[in-house]
Amino acid sequence: MEFLIVTGLSGAGKSLVVDALEDIGYYCVDNMPPVMILRFYRICLNSQEEFDKVAVVTDIRGGEPFRTLITDLEVLKVEKKPFKVLYINCSKHVLLNRYKETRRKHPLIDEFEGSVEMAVEEEIKMLKPAYKMADYLIDTTELSPSQLKQHVKEMFGGNVSAQMVIRVMSFGFKYGPNKEADLVFDVRCFPNPYYVPELKHHTGLENCVREYVMNDDSTMGFLSRLYDMIDYLLPLYKKEGKSELVIAMGCTGGKHRSVTIAENLGGYLASKGNKVVISHRDINK
């Protein structure tokens, strides 16, 4: 049985995540108190019905009992009951804008005399231990609802317990750093198609740009060394028990060089039998 615990910040998109998980066959339960997780786990495990994929959402809507989440998860570990934690994150300023636009009530707002900002800051502090122990992290700051759903389906569409998911991402430094990544590579030193008029408005998903970027000894030299390093690191991450590895490639605007190199790395890793998800954060900006 695959047992996924979904948690994260209020307003970050957990409801959309649950919808996507249900679409790919997960049995989902929302707003479960942490103290019920162990009992529910046992029910699913011992039920006459087969529960192959189960996801439960637990967050601060449960009130004071949520503070025991980490302790309750440690009990699962002691009892050797396998599970994974998916944390849904989002930047504070985007969360504040979402609450302003939707006029929804933050679960902690009554404790802070109506201040959404103070409620969000307190929630971030409360969830820090869960953030640290997460096996998977999705930051929805730059994701549309459809992109988030697609992202979840790509990550959890197979057997998540069987192998590590490798997420290869591209981004543009001009739009801010990639906060999800375990490994970040700056590829701004390679030939830039932006300054070639006939390539400027194309992207690294198109052959004309990819051929331009790849037709350079420095790019090829980098990729050769990158492949060797990743081949060396992957077994070490897997031995550590890491469930997800995020590798990010950054160029200036996130449309040409970083996309090209991310696509090449993703293809290389997939050819080795790894479960790979490729995404391009800033390609449409």
| pLDDT > 60? residue 162 | no
Distance CA 244, CA 275 (A): 10
Question: What mean pLDDT comes out for the span 145-149?
Answer: 88
Q: Is the pLDDT of residue 65 over 70?
A: no
Task: Assign 3-class secondary structure to 74-112.
Answer: HHHHHCCCCCEEEEEECCHHHHHHHHHHHCCCCCCHHHH
Q: Are 222 and 229 in contact (CB under 8 A)?
A: no
What are the domain boundaries of the chain?
2-156, 165-280
The answer, yes or no, to whether residue 59 has pLDDT greater than 80, is yes
Mind listing the pLDDT tens digit for each residue in 68-91? 778 878 888 888 888 999 999 999
Q: Is 212 helix (H, G, I), strand (E, B) or coil?
A: helix
The secondary structure of residue 175, as a DSSP letter, is G
Is this model's pTM higher than 0.95 or not? Answer: no
Burial class (CB in 10 A: 0-12, 13-18, 19+), 41: buried
Q: How confident is the model at residue 159 (pLDDT cuts 50, 70, 90)?
A: low
Find the mean pLDDT for residues 227-252: 91
Non-local CB neighbours of 83 within 8 Å, separated by 6+ positions: 3, 4, 5, 41, 73, 76
Domain 2-156, CATH 3.40.50.300 — does that match? yes
List pLDDT tens digits, range 216-234. 999 999 999 999 999 999 9
Higher-pLDDT residue of 101 and 225 is 225
Residue 46 binned pLDDT confidence (cut-offs 50, 70, 90): confident
Handedness of CA 206, 207, 208, 212 (dihedral sign): positive
Gap between the Cα atoms of 238 and 270, Å rounded: 16
The neighbouring-strand residues paired with 139 are 89
